Amino acid sequence: MPYELADRLVVGIASSALFDLTESDRVFLEQGEDAYRAYQRKHLDDTLDPGVAFSFIRRLLSLNDLAPAADPLVEVIVLSRNDPDTGLRVMRSIESHTLSISRAVFMQGRSPYRFMPALSMSLFLSADQEDVREAVALGLPAGTVLGPAAADDHDDTDLRIAFDFDGVLADDAAERLYKSGGIEEFRTHEVANARVAHAPGPLKDFLAAVNRIQRREEEEQRANPAYRMRVHVSIVTARNAPAHERAVLSLNHWGLRVNDAFFLGGIDKGRIMSVLRPHIFFDDQAGHLTSTALTTPSVHVPFGLLNQPASDAPAP
């Protein structure tokens, strides 16, 4: 029987998000493709250092201990612009770091993001901004990794995930209204429509898949009271009262949940991240990520009006 992906949390990861490719990228840019191939062959057995999303991916995969080995909850698949030959170093590094990733798509010089629907992916992470923008333009859930490759404590198995709300979990209708009408019109509209759920945003299905794992954790805790919940989800949003209510009720309407919510009303998100210390944070506004990426593995989701090039934005 074929291996089914539909009921799993499936993440696509570019080698540029999983590992630090600074040196090999420099060789490619400065010396060209032939020198890059020679460099990768020469360093085939040199394990690549962790990249921005490494800790997030390692901890996500560790949740497979909640299911039989033949039926994992999480599947991570490498999606790479490398060809199979130069991709060997990536796969050997995965093995060296003991990551349980066995599936990969290598397409020489082309991004394989268009295979995301066929592979039931609810998220694709890459350091290539153009690939991510093209994927999001096609309605696919993707983000560009930013920030440090955080030190990973292998004795700590927690996984902390943080999301912005508008333009990430929800669509960007509220952001469009804020941009066109200002803060007061935005607040008035959100209060009047508090019980009308927002349309889903690009990462709504990813949160749904994370919630399924959290429910599996709850089952484990009921069977084994000593089990400690590992997955923790937060929203960190510029909304504040009274606009907070529509965000909460939208999550309820979608059948989704978060453990914590920070309604900041313009407070710098970077200050919160330095205390919350998520293993990954998703936001659609690059300006918010300028501060979070200083301390926190961050992901820019280039969705909606605020991320359209000026030449593509609709006339006022």
What pLDDT, in 10s, does the model give residues 74-129? 999 999 998 888 899 999 999 999 999 999 999 988 889 999 999 999 999 999 99
- Average pLDDT of the segment spanning 33-44: 89
As a whole number, mean pLDDT of residues 228-250 equals: 95
pLDDT at 148: 79
Contact 12, 79 (CB under 8 A): yes
Domain boundary among 125, 146, 167: 146
Give how many domains the chain has, as a whole number: 2
The pLDDT value recorded for residue 137 is: 95
pLDDT at 311 over 60: no
68 lies in a domain? yes
* Average pLDDT over all residues of the chain: 92
User: Is the pLDDT at 226 greater than 70, yes or no?
Assistant: yes
pLDDT exceeds 80 at position 312: no
pLDDT value at residue 313: 46
In which domain, by residue range, is 268 found?
A: 159-307
Report whether pLDDT(293) > 50: yes
Residue at 316 is within a domain: no
pLDDT of 155 over the 80 cut: no
Identify whether residues 101 and 241 lie together within a single domain. Answer: no
- Which of 144, 141, 143, 162 minimizes the C-alpha distance to 206? 141
User: Mean per-residue pLDDT for 232-242?
Assistant: 95
pLDDT of residue 191: 85
Identify the pLDDT of residue 314: 39
Whether 10 and 121 have beta carbons less than 8 Å apart is answered as yes
User: Active-site residue 205, yes or no?
Assistant: no
46 and 140 housed in the same domain: yes
In this structure, the answer to whether residues 142 and 255 fall within a common structural domain is: no
pTM of this prediction? 0.93
Give the residue from 88, 120, 146 where a domain finishes: 146
* Catalytic member of 131, 153, 156, 164: 164
Residue 310 has pLDDT above 70, yes or no: no
Q: Mean pLDDT, to the nearest integer, of 203-232?
A: 97
What per-residue confidence (pLDDT) applies to 315? 33
Same domain, 75 and 184: no
Q: Do 194 and 284 share a structural domain?
A: yes
Same-domain check for residues 164 and 119: no
Lowest mean pLDDT among 65-74, 140-149, 190-199: 190-199
122 domain residue, yes or no: yes
Using the predicted structure, report yes or no on whether residue 56 has a pLDDT greater than 90: yes
Rounded distance between C-alpha atoms, residue 110 and residue 80, angstroms: 8
CB atoms within 10 A of CB 35: 12
Residue 115 exposed, middle or buried by CB count within 10 Å (0-12, 13-18, 19+): middle
Task: Please report whether residue 59 resides in a domain.
Answer: yes
pLDDT at residue 189 in the model: 81
Determine the pLDDT at residue 145.
98
Position 316 pLDDT exceeds 60? no
In a domain, 1, yes or no: no
Residues 103 and 207 in one domain: no
The whole-angstrom separation of Cα 180 and Cα 315 is 11
Same domain, residue pair 225 and 260? yes
As a whole number of angstroms, the distance between CA 262 and CA 265 comes to 9
Do 167 and 74 reside in the same domain of the chain?
Answer: no
> Within a domain: residue 153?
no
Counting every residue written for the chain, the total comes to 316
Residue 206 lies in a domain: yes
Q: Which two tokens stand for residue 58?
A: 């390692």
The helix/strand/coil state of 117 is helix
Are 139 and 199 contained in the same domain? no
Supply the CATH number for residue 121's domain.
3.40.50.1000
What per-residue confidence (pLDDT) applies to 149? 78
Strands (E), 107-241: 123-126, 142-146, 159-163, 231-237
Residues 230 and 190 in one domain: yes
Is residue 151 assigned to a domain? no
At 178 the pLDDT is 74
pLDDT mean over 266-292 = 95
- Are 57 and 195 in the same domain? no
* Domain end residue (candidates: 111, 146, 181): 146
